[in-house]
Structures are given as C-alpha cells and as structure tokens.
Structure 1
C-alpha cells in the first residue's frame, strides 16, 4: 500500500492561538509516524482529534460494548444506528486484517502520546449517533433502506478491498467514502458527513480552546476535512455554541410520512368495518387474511434471521397488531423476545466487533442476531402491510364488479 504525504496547514487565530491542521489518512502508518514526530517536537500544549466521546470510549475501553443496554437500544428504536456503527467497525477491521495497519492508527498514537506527555486532549467530532441520525433524516425512506442494505451486503462479502478504494479512503473521510459508494445522490450524504462536521469541528475546537486556555494545538483530522475546516476556522465568525447547538439537532420528520401512515390505517380499518357490515363472515375472512399475510411474512423474516422458535411465534402473533399502529414496530417485540430467550453471554460482547466482520458471525453472535431479528422482522412486516393492503382492496373491489 503506497502512502502519500500528509497535507498540513498552520493557522493563527485570535489571542495568539496557533494551530497545525494535519490531514491524516486513517489507514496510513505514515500518518501515525507524522503524528508522533509532531507531538514529540514539544511545540504543542494540546492535541485535538477527530473523535467524539463515544468513539473515544470505544477505542480506549474494550469493555464499553458490555455496558450497552440492549433492551433500551430496541425500545428507543436505535438498532439501525448501532448496526451501522458495527458495519463500519467491520469494514475498519477488514482494512486492518488486509493491510496490517490498524484503522485510526494516527488517532491511537495521538491519544497515547498526549497522555504520556500530559497534553490537553480535545475531542472535537460530533457524536457518531447524531451524525448517522442526521444522515438518515436527509434521506428518503427508500434511500435509507438501499443504503443500509448495500453497506451490510458489501461488508459481509469475502472480497478484498481494492487499491482504488484504499486511495479514496486515504484522500477523504472514512464515513463519507464508505457510505457514498451506495448512495444514489452523494450530496445527500456529503452535507451531514462532511460539510456539517467541518463546521462542527471548527466550532467545537474554538470552544475547547477557550475552555482549557490552549495556545498551540495540533489538530489531527481526516484529509477530507482539511479544506473545509480551515475555511470554517478562518471565515466563520458565528458563535461556537450556536453552531454546535444547531448541528446537534435532529431535523424533525416532515408531516407526510405520518399523514400517509395514519391515512393508510384509517382506510384499512374502514375496509374491515365495511366487510363486517356486509357480513360477519366476510369481516372475519378479511381479518384472517390480514393476520396470515402480515404475521406470516414477519415470522418468515424472523426465521431467516435465525430467531428462536418462540420469537418466530411472537412475530406471527404481534405483526397483525403492530402493523395497525404506525408508532409501534414488530421489531420492538421480536428483538426484546429474542434477547429474553437468548440473553447475550460475556463472550458475545467481547467478540462482537470481530464476529460482525463475517456473515456467519451475524448469526452466531447473540447480540448481532437479535439486531438481525429486529431488522428482518420489521422489514418483512412492512412488506406484509402493503401486500395485505392490496389483498384487502382486491377483496372489497370484487364485491362491486
């Protein structure tokens, strides 16, 4: 793997604050070596790193995953966010296995040396969960599903990562480079993954400098953020707190998804009501068809995810009811049941990041499998809702030839 020189810019801010922006490559040993050389030069009193608190904790504390409340993840519908993070970790692990360079080696070097030399450590990136949720909010529901499916299928295959992909990763941002391959419109991803984080990290850096009184700071960021962050530091005079508050907000969902979901529910219930008005037998037949289609497909999705027999039964029973309530998903039921029936062991937490690098690992690890049960049962129940709706409409139209 050929390393390229890491670009850097020296800046001066107000009050005599001096910055060195180092555009590092997250998979380059040369970047780690340059970070070591700069820190050991003794020029800096602080080191700023492109990490958020949760990623920093996961990097320095392997036990962080064991502290995750899985039932809360399911109850709060954060499964897709956690799965996306696991898929990203799987990709980074593949990089390490293939090229012998641990992803984020320059960040680990900066963390170790900053601690050894007693320098201020400034974590300036936005929380990964907020970034992923803003990415999700910036995409249509169809783009979200295709993006997630593309990520999962790509990173579970056995093919080696190409030299072209490596060069793109070295020159850009890890998140943006990975996600953009599966996006039909890269602009949808570029804004929350690059532009917003450029502004966010510049504002966070200014706030942290004021908090600790830093004067000479080495800023270790991905090469893809170098130009935008420099522009934000030099040209953006906005109040840092205002910028951070704005960029940490999750955009509210538009009214149309809720309107369509509740509208569909009203039509379905009206169809059932009309069926019972025509005859009790017809009404029961319509309800039975709905239950068999939605429950059957949800159960099939749970089966494909490797769910427990009782979890499959729970999917079959719950789907006909949860599909009639836009705010409750069958995955909340199946995921919780799966975790209750097969509670994760200590080894599942410790091996999770390694096992999700393989297709088999997603089914053998109890945590990953519970997430798959949540996802596949939800997706199957969603398909079942539309199939059952078409079936219901067809039955009613046949009453008036």
Structure 2
C-alpha cells in the first residue's frame, strides 16, 4: 500500500508552483520547476504523483548523481590511488567543493539539496513506473565548463572554489530565493556564470538541450499503443523555460544530439604549446648560461631547482602533507618537464596516500568534514586531494618565476 502522503494529495502544495504542461510526439509532459533546497518542492512532487497518473518520471539527474542520492555511502568505495593515477583528483576535489556548498545549505535549512529528486524517484518506485535520468554526467559538464573558458578565468574559478571552502557566513535568504530561479551548479559558480557566456552555455544552455533530447529519446521508446503516455518531469526552476523551449523546438536527431553534448572536447593545444615553449626557452637559457660561464650556469640551474622544487614543496607544506610527501614534491617539481602528463601534484599525493593511508573513518566523515575549512586538513582523503591541487599550483608558479628570474640574470 502506498504511504498516506501519496494517496491523499495536498492540492494546496501545488499553489504557486511553476508547472508547465506540453505535448511532444504524442507524449504529454508535466514539467515541474523546483528549488533544490525547498520543502515546498518536495511537497509539490508528492502532490503531483498522488493526484495524477504518470507512466514515467524524469528527473534532472545523471546516473552518478542519482546513485549518490540513492546510496549516500557509495563514495566510501572510492579508490583514492586510482583517482590520482587516472588524473581525476582535480575533478573529485571540485565535486567535493560543490558537495560542501550543498552541505551548508542542508545544515542551515534542514533539508538535503536534491530531496525533491529523491522524492520523485521514490514515488516512481512505489508506483512501479520507470525513472528517466535525463541530465548529463556532472563530470562531463564540469570538464566542458572548464575548457570553455580562458586561462585567466580558470584561475578565477579555482580561486572562487577555494574561497568557498573558507566561506563561513550563512547563505542569505535572498540567495536561496535566487537558487529557486537558477541551477545548483550555476548557483555554486554564480559569480562566474553570470559574467561568462561560455560558462553559462556549458552549465545551463547545453544541459537544457541535452535534457530535452533525452526526454525525446525516452519518449520515442514508449509503447505507442499504450492507453496513455504521460511523464512527470522534475527539474530545477532555472531550467524550466530553456528546456521547455528546446523540447518544443528541437528537430535534430535526439540520440545524435545527446552523443554530441556528452563528449568532452579536446583540450586547447595552445596552453601545452606555451608550456613546452617556456620550458624549452628556460633550458636553452640555462644552456646559454653554462656557455657563458660555468658559475652562471650553475646559478641558473640552482634557481630552477630551488624555485620549482621549493614552491612545489611549499604547496605540500601548506596542505599539511607528510615530510615524505613534501620531499616528493620538491623532487618532482624540477623534473616535471621530463614527465609529460604526470603532474608533480600526483607524485606528492600518491606519496601522501601511501604514508597516511585513508582510514574507513576518513571516508565515512568526508562529507561532513569538508563543510568546514579545517576538515580539508583533518580528513586524510580531503588533505590528499588538497595536496595534489596545491603542489600542482606551486609547480606552475615556480616554472614561470624561475623562467623570468633565469632569463633576467642573462642580461
């Protein structure tokens, strides 16, 4: 038997809620725009499910986020060594920063972000109807957003993410109201999304297109002989207008469109070319210094080692790394040009994860620890990821500072 709150709909819960009804290719869509931090949105989901019959329920979730909502303990199975080895440490760290933002909302307002999505999935399960996961994978969205902006905007994003870790003020009521009209990802990066058309396109517009195409794809697979084809769509209110427009106006092949939007564009070549050119120029300068004078060459080489190794080690030191990890960062920094594709942060982080192996308790407390900035240093999982990030940044800074210093010493 269904729970009482599902069998006795509260019609008043739907008053003032953004609901749009439309039909596409013989499928009726009831689209509910929700706030990811609102009890009213949860009540509206339950009221719609209880008052109308739906043949499917679509939610603004990708498989990984849906799995995280259904099984909050799944992250405990994370293999930290594999995360670092596969170059995913930065992406996991970004996801944790976003998670800490969500946790702050939960602690302040007493409701987990995404509770309305869980209510929609639970309601569909209770009624035996399929759940459609129509959002793009969050990792793909973050990668496309990252690669859509320029070099200096990336530093701004990283600074903003680090700043959110240290932010302790309560989230104001007016900011919560803004979240009701925007997307959670956009809300977390609102300062940058509002001022960057490429970033807004990757975080919002592309996902509007992706979700509309996914709805069309799933809708086409429904039995055309069924007595009804009616779908409840639960999405953030910030996507309501854009996705509805896309659903009405899209004419491209749905599968081809989702495949295109789900691909990660290759990284721009110029940053790698610039980095290689810089390193070659620095090594040429060091060689020229030796040509002019052995002592001048030794000084140039010493500056390279001390600045790249020293700033890499400083990053590990700030992260509270083990002395062995700090030493690994110092050695790995100057040798980075000889290890293309292997950042110095990965070397130091691997050493940190080996010396201070994360305990079961660290994984269990990870979500709670990262809600406060000190938790990034106390929790071994978070500290390893922080170590990766700060050492990598220290190495990059060291390379540029060393290059300028060495070249200036020749003139």
Q: TM-score, normalised on structure 1?
A: 0.94
Partner of 2:264: 250
1:365 equivalent in alignment to 2:376: no
Matching residue within 83, 89, 103 for 1:73: 83
Supply the distance in 2 between the matched residues of 1:230 and 1:184 (Cα, whole angstroms). Answer: 21
Q: Give per-residue Cα distances to partners, 1:66-116, cap 9 Å, x unaligned.
A: 222222222232222111111111111111111122211211111111111
Larger mean CA deviation between 252-261 and 357-366 belongs to 252-261
1:206 equivalent in alignment to 2:220: no
TM alignment of 1:147-226, pairs within 5 A: 147-182=157-192, 185-213=195-223, 215-226=229-240
TM alignment of 1:24-63, pairs within 5 A: 24-63=34-73
Partner of 1:342: 356
Q: Give per-residue Cα distances to partners, 1:227-275, cap 9 Å, x unaligned.
A: 1111111111110111011111222223321221111121112112212
Q: Indicate if the aligned counterparts of 1:323 and 1:381 stay in contact, CA closer than 8 A.
A: no
Matching residue within 106, 115, 118 for 1:105: 115
Larger mean CA deviation between 61-70 and 297-306 belongs to 61-70
In the alignment of these two chains, the number of paired residues is 394
Larger mean CA deviation between 248-257 and 306-315 belongs to 248-257
1:237 equivalent in alignment to 2:248: no
Partner of 1:9: 20
Q: Give per-residue Cα distances to partners, 1:270-321, cap 9 Å, x unaligned.
A: 1122122233333222211210111111111100001001100111111111
Supply the distance in 2 between the matched residues of 1:140 and 1:186 (Cα, whole angstroms). Answer: 10
Q: Please give the secondary structure, in 1, of the residue aligned with 2:30.
A: strand
Q: Please give the secondary structure, in 1, of the residue aligned with 2:178.
A: helix
Unaligned 5+ runs, structure 2:
1-13
TM alignment of 1:232-381, pairs within 5 A: 232-323=246-337, 327-381=341-395
TM alignment of 1:61-140, pairs within 5 A: 61-140=71-150
Q: Indicate if the aligned counterparts of 1:335 and 1:373 stay in contact, CA closer than 8 A.
A: yes
Supply the distance in 2 between the matched residues of 1:108 and 1:263 (Cα, whole angstroms). Answer: 50
* Structure 1 residue 62 displacement after superposition: 2.4
Supply the distance in 2 between the matched residues of 1:69 and 1:369 (Cα, whole angstroms). Answer: 15
Q: Indicate if the aligned counterparts of 1:355 and 1:362 stay in contact, CA closer than 8 A.
A: yes
Supply the distance in 1 between the matched residues of 2:194 and 2:235 (Cα, whole angstroms). Answer: 27
Supply the distance in 2 between the matched residues of 1:91 and 1:303 (Cα, whole angstroms). Answer: 26
Unaligned 5+ runs, structure 1:
none
**Pair 1:90–1:4, CA change in 2 (3 A):** farther
Q: Indicate if the aligned counterparts of 1:293 and 1:387 stay in contact, CA closer than 8 A.
A: yes
Q: Indicate if the aligned counterparts of 1:50 and 1:222 stay in contact, CA closer than 8 A.
A: yes
Supply the distance in 2 between the matched residues of 1:157 and 1:301 (Cα, whole angstroms). Answer: 21
Q: Indicate if the aligned counterparts of 1:265 and 1:325 stay in contact, CA closer than 8 A.
A: no
Q: Indicate if the aligned counterparts of 2:316 and 2:391 stay in contact, CA closer than 8 A.
A: yes
Q: Please give the secondary structure, in 2, of the residue aligned with 1:316.
A: helix
Q: Give per-residue Cα distances to partners, 1:190-222, cap 9 Å, x unaligned.
A: 101111000000111111223354811000000
Supply the distance in 1 between the matched residues of 2:335 and 2:89 (Cα, whole angstroms). Answer: 21
Q: Indicate if the aligned counterparts of 1:273 and 1:283 stay in contact, CA closer than 8 A.
A: yes
Supply the distance in 2 between the matched residues of 1:341 and 1:160 (Cα, whole angstroms). Answer: 37
Supply the distance in 2 between the matched residues of 1:114 and 1:240 (Cα, whole angstroms). Answer: 24
Supply the distance in 1 between the matched residues of 2:215 and 2:280 (Cα, whole angstroms). Answer: 50
Q: Please give the secondary structure, in 2, of the residue aligned with 1:219.
A: strand
Supply the distance in 1 between the matched residues of 2:210 and 2:165 (Cα, whole angstroms). Answer: 29
Supply the distance in 2 between the matched residues of 1:162 and 1:334 (Cα, whole angstroms). Answer: 39
